[in-house]
Amino acid sequence: MASLGLVTAVCRSETHAFSKLCVEVITLLMGQGVEGDAHCGERVKHRSRVAADPTQPNLRQVHLIHEELHRELITKGFRVGPGILGENITTRGVALLNLPRGTRLTLGSEAVVEVTGLRNPCKQLDDYQTGLMSAVLDRTPQGELIRKAGVMGIVIRGGLVRPGDTIGITLPDGPFEKLERV
């Protein structure tokens, strides 16, 4: 396991609000998500997914965004920062979008989150600030859509996570699966 990154902020919201409140510490619950967060649970909690099929497993228990995205968006005039885009954990120094599916992130000394896929940005981004949705989307030279709004994961091992905690990265056995939206 390589230690390549840092947790810079942790956030949660008891309601399905667009943004989450930054706090001093969050508790990750195995198989559930962030204690006290509206998206915590074994089954889907995102409203659109509950409407489609409430029995689906919750592959979006924890949302992580790289601080580097915040900096990129700020240079483009957007008002963003930790928790604003709805993430539970803000990271620094980890190329989250390049990780293969099944990568395990050890957060601090206890918690482990397994990356399940990419966050699929929604129109709430534009409701917050016009143009934000298109700013978190890009295209490869071949025209393939790139989603930059972070990654989603499930809690494999619970524990406390705080700003300043290191992030260890354990890649899955190959062949690697590219992240897709979840």
* Average pLDDT over the chain, rounded to an integer: 95
Mean pLDDT value of segment 68-74:
98
Shortest CA distance to 66 belongs to which of 95, 37, 38? 95
- Which CATH superfamily, name and number, covers 2-170? PK beta-barrel domain-like (2.40.33.20)
Do the Cβ atoms of 80 and 19 come closer than 8 Å?
A: no
pTM: 0.95
pLDDT value, residue 16: 92
Rounded CA separation 122/100 (Å): 23
Band (174; pLDDT cuts 50, 70, 90):
confident
Helices (H), the chain: 47-52, 67-75, 124-128, 132-135
